[in-house]
Structures are given as C-alpha cells and as structure tokens.
Amino acid sequence: VWSGDDAAVVRVPLSSGSSPGQAPLLLLAADTVVAGVDADLSLTTLADFGWKAMAVNLSDIAAMGGRPDHALVSVVGLGPDELEDLYEGIVEAAAEFGCDVVGGDLSAGSEVVVSVAVTGWVDGEPVLRSGARPGDRIWVTGPLGAAAAGLRLLRQAGPVPHAWGQADQALVSAHARPRPAVAEGVIARLAGATAMIDVSDGLAADLDQLARRSGVGFELANVPVADGAAIDEALAGGDDYVLVFTTPGPVDVVRPFLAAGLPAPNMIGECVADPRLRRVAGKTLTVAGWEHSL
Amino acid sequence: VWSGDDAAVVRVPLSSGSSPGQAPLLLLAADTVVAGVDADLSLTTLADFGWKAMAVNLSDIAAMGGRPDHALVSVVGLGPDELEDLYEGIVEAAAEFGCDVVGGDLSAGSEVVVSVAVTGWVDGEPVLRSGARPGDRIWVTGPLGAAAAGLRLLRQAGPVPHAWGQADQALVSAHARPRPAVAEGVIARLAGATAMIDVSDGLAADLDQLARRSGVGFELANVPVADGAAIDEALAGGDDYVLVFTTPGPVDVVRPFLAAGLPAPNMIGECVADPRLRRVAGKTLTVAGWEHSL
C-alpha cells in the first residue's frame, strides 16, 4: 500500500484508445513538519518554517526526477498574524520552484503542525531508490553538512538576532532555507540515474536506505564537505536536501549538468556487491555516521 | 492561489498532439483532523478517528462529482500501537470507497493530528460551488442531523461503552463513521448538477457557501431530518457529509439515482435571485441555523 519511495507513482487513467505515453506519470508525496521537532522556532522564523515545509516536499519530487506542480498545505495551531508569516515562506518556496499552492486546510490546535502534500509529473520513468547495481558510481549534487553546521551556529549564538559573516550566513541559510535540488533531479534522471534519494536524514542514513532497497553495499571516498562544516556533519547531519544518485560506470553525468547551467555533481564512491558493506575512506559507516561516533 | 472549492482542479499536462479529452481532470484536496477539536477520543475510537480523517477528504472529491483514487496520510503524535488502531479505520474507509493509501509521513508531537491529502479524477467538468442559478432546484442526497444527534447521544452516555438500540446506533454510527457520498456525487454530476457542496459545517453554513459563490439566495421547504434528530441538528449540526446540489428545474435527478441503485435524493427548495435571501419554512436561516437559535 505504502510506496516506500520518496513519492508514490500513479498512472493517469486515460480514455480508451489513448497510448500511455501521451500522459506523464503523476508523483504524490506528503511530509509534515512539527514546531519543536523539525524546527526550533526560537532560532528560525515562521517564514523559514513555511519554506522548510515546502522544501522537504519539493525535495521528494526532485528525488524521483520529477518536476513539482501543485501543493496542498494544512496548518494546525496558528493565529491569523502567525499564518501570514508562515505563508510568506510557503509562497516564496512555491514561487521559487514553480509549485502552485492550490488548497489546504486550517485547524485549531495547541501545537504548530504544517502538513504539505505535493504533486509532480515525470515524463518517462521516475528514478526509484531500488535501481542501483554493483559497480554503479555514486554522486551527490553538492557539498554536505551545511545545514547541520548552520544549526550548530544558530544554537551557539542563541535566540538573539545575530550579524553573520558571509561564510557563516551561507551555513545558517542552508539550515533555515534549504533548497530542494529540483533542476538537478530532472537532469540526473535524463542523464541515466539508476537510483536516487534526497539527503534529509543524513548521507549515511539516506544512502543506507538506497543501498537496502537496491540490494547493494557502498564504498565512499571523496564526500564533499561544505565550507565550515565538519565531516561528521556531512555524513550524518541531515537536512541538506542535496540528491544522491547512482549511474552505470560509463555514463557521463557532468556534461549534462554543466549544459543545464548546474554545478557539476561530485562522484563520491561506488556501489559494491556485498549488501552489508558500508564504508567511507576505509572506515565502516553506520546510519548514525562514522564507526567512532557510536 | 487557493481553489476555494472542495477540491482543486488540475489539468494533466499531456504531450503535444494529444487532445485534452483523452485525460480526466485531476482533483486535489486536503483536510486535517485534530484530536480534541474534530473528534473527542473519549467518545469514539482511534479507528473511528482514522475513518473520519479519510471520510472528510473523500467527501471533498465526492462534492466535485469525482471518484477518489489515492491518499497520502500524515500522522503526528501517535505511538506504534495507537497507529495500528488509527490505520484500521483509515484502511477500512480507503477500501470501502476505492481509494489507495500510497504514502505519507509519521512525526513526533504532543497532539494527535491526522492530515490526509486525496486525489480524484473527473471525466468531463467537475461540479463547482459557483454554478447555481435562480430557479435551480436544491437537493440533498439524504436526511440530515444524524451525526449531530449521534454526538449528542454519545455525550449523554459518557465514555462508558454503551449498548445502543438500533435507531440510536444508526445515529452514533453516523457520527463515528460518516459515509462520504461518493457514488451520489458522480450521479449528481452526470444528471446535470449545476453546483454542489458537502455538508461538513451544517446545511445552513454549507448552503450559505454555495449561495455566496453562486450569487443566489435560497428558499427551503422540506429538509429531511434523520430519525431521532432535531430540526436544529439537521440545519446546523454538520458532519453529515451528505451532498447538497442544484439542478435546473426540468432535470430529472431521481431516475438516475434509482437507476444507479442509490436512494432518491430529496428536493429541499429552490435558488432565488435575491442573493441575501436565506429562508426555511418561511423563517430566516443564518449560518448558525434558525433565526431563533441566535
């Protein structure tokens, strides 16, 4: 019943006589953010919270190689003024990534909960988590750890508004306004990605998911760490919303990214046949990060 | 941005050369239920709560004349055992009305919140709230007030399990397990309904919405009251999830309902040109019910 992937894939029921290729596949995803659980509203704003609620959903569509289309937003526990602040971030993210908010619901409640459901479309086959094969190369669409480092900086600075230097501001923004890799997901699919997932729980945990679903292990070497972030934050930090994807060895993925005006993805390692193997720079990686961090 | 109707209507982006008629229109709706706000979990079960979360969403698709297809369910604030109870009702409602649950999300939280998003399809034109014209007849798909009467009985009986007589059980079930009028909505659309809405907030409030969006008033005469319910419960009780719809005078709607094996709908009145007029049995109706009840 549950799709178990980033988004469910649905065929459009065409009238008889139509060929299935005439309609794209419909993608459906839903993610909920809870204040105090998914964001600390003493460190970031309600507008940031609204942005994040949209971003995590858009990222689910991106991770299938789809383009987001519409969103439904249900909000619990906010008064009119707070709602306006929240919507500011929702609408900004929606506009930035071409996803119209077309409905939703408002409810009373004692806790702030924002549930978003998104639709997307994919022409051709979506990229699932399960398609990686031994020998496939593993790529990420950008450096990791920025969101976790930004959260660390915000916690150190405390709730007082703070003037950040440029490098720290980039980390704080990565936490407060994560950017779903929508264009990158489409290009990765077109370039021949065999499996893909977005980094929401951390590279180690999300790559573990992809490996489990694909029945492969992996060996990583060159994980790109965001400037100012620690390697632990890059491996286990989460909330980066870059995409990890795999491709068969000979496939050139750098060129299509550059041709689309996107930064070249980073090759970080390879899938291996032993489904239990999870290694980075020769050390065992657990879903919580490095071996030593347990 | 917001649809303002029961569900948003989305066109499938077909490949060039396809005619728009080859794909149905996609309907999107989302509704959230909050424990303690939308249901009193000391009076009904978590399975009932799950059923209701699905039912209110399926009813949104029904009110457009569509058929539900898929649902995404996001749950906040439940542990594993409670989740199982909740899903029992979700899955029962999903199965009963042909809607597959294909994804969703689980989050920690201090309050029980269930957000459902549903998709549906409609061949041809969906029935909006805005299409009623003066002279159109107003119909309901069944008697009203049962859910409110059932809630009254449950409150009187208190949290102790109670052996209900058959008539009271029907009222209690109408509250605990409301049935979205999915088949009725499709038949009403095929029979030529000009406007439609589901009765979630109460006949008076929901018909007020339909009248506002259509720019008409209304005059009601024969509102069918469920056995054991009071007229106030029928007018203002809410949560009945019967459909109210309008048709041009000469249209025969009884026959198509009977032909589909459904009970004949009840004609309850007529739309009038004066958009301020809201009358039942000669008395002014407010969104809260009868004049006297203010």
Q: What is the pLDDT of residues B194-214, one digit of tens each?
A: 999 999 999 999 999 999 999
CB contact under 8 A, B109 and A23: no
Q: Which residue of B90, B91, B113 is the best one to mutate when testing the A interface, meaning the one whose CB has the most A CBs within 10 A?
A: B113
pLDDT(B20) > 80: no
Q: Check: CB of residue A243 under 8 Å from CB of residue A163.
A: no
Tell which residue, B51, B54, B52, has the closest CA to residue B38: B52
Q: A147 — contact with chain B (CB < 8 Å)?
A: no
Q: Could you tell me whether strands B137-140 and B67-76 are parallel, antiparallel, or unpaired per DSSP bridges?
A: unpaired
Q: Check: CB of residue B182 under 8 Å from CB of residue B62.
A: yes
- Number of inter-chain CB pairs under 8 A, A vs B: 181
Q: Could you tell me which chain A residue has the CA closest to the CA of B102?
A: A2
- State the ipTM, two decimals: 0.93
| Angstroms from A206 CA to nearest CA on chain B | 16
Indicate the SS3 state at residue B192: coil
Q: How far apart are CA B168 and CA B150, in angstroms?
A: 7
- Residue B172: CA atoms inside 13 Å, Cβ hemisphere, count? 18
In this complex, the residue of A10, A24, A113 whose CB is nearest that of residue B76 is A113
In A199-228, the residues whose Cβ lies within 8 Å of chain B are none
Kindly report the average pLDDT of chain B as a whole number.
93
* Local structure of residue B105 (DSSP, 8 states): E
pLDDT value, residue A15 = 83
Lookup result for tokens 């230097």: A165
Q: A170 — contact with chain B (CB < 8 Å)?
A: no
Q: How far is residue A233 CA from its own chain's centroid?
A: 16
Tell which residue, B84, B189, B104, has the closest CA to residue B141: B189
Q: B16 — contact with chain A (CB < 8 Å)?
A: no
CB contact under 8 A, B14 and A22: yes
CB count in 10 Å sphere of residue A144: 29
A58-87 tens-digit pLDDT:
999 999 999 999 999 999 999 999 999 999
B241, two tokens: 């999830």
Task: Write out residues in chain A with pLDDT < 50, as ranges.
Answer: 1, 292-294
B118-152 tens-digit pLDDT:
999 999 999 999 999 999 999 999 999 999 999 99
In this complex, the residue of B32, B102, B110 whose CB is nearest that of residue A105 is B32
Cβ neighbors of B90 (< 8 A, separation 6 or more) are B50, B51, B53, B54, B73, B101
Phi, psi of A84 (to 5 degrees): -60, -45
Q: Check: CB of residue A285 under 8 Å from CB of residue A223.
A: no
Looking at per-residue pLDDT, the higher value among B19 and B221 belongs to B221
Q: How far apart are CA B203 and CA A178, in angstroms?
A: 44
Q: How far apart are CA B152 and CA B147, in angstroms?
A: 9
In this complex, the residue of A3, A72, A107 whose CB is nearest that of residue B102 is A3
Helix ranges (DSSP H) in B177-242: 182-190, 203-214, 231-236
Q: Could you tell me which chain B residue has the CA closest to the CA of A2?
A: B102
In this complex, the residue of A14, A30, A119 whose CB is nearest that of residue B22 is A14
Q: How far apart are CA A256 and CA A183, in angstroms?
A: 11
**Beta strands, E only, A82-220:** 100-107, 113-122, 137-140, 195-198, 217-220
Work out the pLDDT band at B170, boundaries 50, 70, 90: very high
Lookup result for tokens 């919507």: A87
